[in-house]
Amino acid sequence: MNLSSPDDKELRNNALARTLIDRELRVRFAPEDEALRGSIASAKAENLPTIQISPLQGKLLQVLAMACGAHTILEIGALAGYSGVWLARALPTDGKLITLEVSPKHAEIVRTTFAAAGVDDRAEVRVGPTLDLLPTLVPEAPFDLIFIDADKENYPQYLDWAITLSRVGSLIVADNVIRGGRVFQVPPPDENAAGIAAYNRQIVEDPRLVSVAFPNDDDGMDGFAISVVRG
């Protein structure tokens, strides 16, 4: 194999090109309205980490939700409600998004965000330790789309619950499955990388799922895994 050795100028050009392309795609395909921008602003004002998905990732979630005809969506990890707004807006008026949040303080911000975005009729936040809340959702299953974006070390357990709470044809989407490539290091450098590495292995090996992963964040260093449940 021929290895190339890009010089500094090339690398700078590539980084610049990627930034420009991302900006143009964002403007064309995923413009944010006041409520989405407000969600980021209130997260910053409350000193929450600014680790929201990107606008293009939000738009992708909408496309996926609509592609599987989602009436019911479960989100594991709400943060400030930014991805929840993208997801809820893909629902029909009688649809339902349930988002799980461990922090009561964050949950309050999420409620404010949902009200500002006009989706509080169909989007609900439930507060508590995620692994305590998940079993309580069995009577409300199946969910058509499940989005996992919470603490990384528990991703394998969240996947087990996502499958339990799904139907054939449901989509299971997970954020942060690349983490700059750290998830591919052997052994994994930390608990978070280990959790994601196990998740990535499970979604490939489980015969009930067909899965793919790809970089799709702002700088191409992290991204989504998408699995469809095939029963």
Q: For Mg ion, which residue has the nearest CB?
A: 175
Q: Is 45 an interacting residue with respect to ligand DHB (CB under 6 A)?
A: no
CA separation for the pair 180, 143 (Å, rounded): 30
Q: Is 75 an interacting residue with respect to ligand DHB (CB under 6 A)?
A: no
Report the amino acid identity of residue 200: N
By C-beta, is 143 or 224 nearer to Mg ion?
224
What is the three-class DSSP state of 228?
strand
Looking at 36-44, 104-112, 176-184, 211-219, which segment touches Mg ion (CB under 5 A)?
A: 176-184
Q: Between 113 and 152, how does the x/- string for binding to Mg ion read (CB under 5 A)? A: ------------------------------------x---
CA separation for the pair 206, 198 (Å, rounded): 12
Q: For ligand DHB, which residue has the nearest CB?
A: 51
Contact by Cβ (8 Å): 145, 64 = yes
What sections of the chain are H helices per DSSP?
8-29, 34-45, 55-67, 82-88, 104-116, 130-133, 155-164, 191-205
Q: Is 83 an interacting residue with respect to Mg ion (CB under 5 A)?
A: no
Question: By C-alpha distance, which of 184, 227, 181 is closest to 207?
Answer: 227
Contact by Cβ (8 Å): 196, 176 = yes
| Least Å from the CB of residue 231 to Mg ion | 28
Q: Which of 149, 163, 173, 197 binds ligand DHB (CB under 6 A)?
A: 149
Q: Is 144 an interacting residue with respect to ligand DHB (CB under 6 A)?
A: no
CA dihedral 18→89→139→150, nearest 10 degrees, is 30
By C-beta, is 142 or 215 nearer to ligand DHB?
215
Q: Is 54 an interacting residue with respect to ligand DHB (CB under 6 A)?
A: no
**Secondary element (H or E) of residue 226:** strand 223-229
Q: Which of 75, 101, 144, 175 binds ligand DHB (CB under 6 A)?
A: 175
Given ligand DHB, Mg ion, none, residue 15, with its beta carbon under 5 to 8 Å by kind, binds none
Q: Report the Cα 111 to chain-centroid distance in Å.
A: 18
Given ligand DHB, Mg ion, none, residue 39, with its beta carbon under 5 to 8 Å by kind, binds none
DSSP single-letter state for residue 2? P
- Contacts to ligand DHB by CB under 6 A: 51, 149, 175-176
- Contacts to Mg ion by CB under 5 A: 149, 175-176
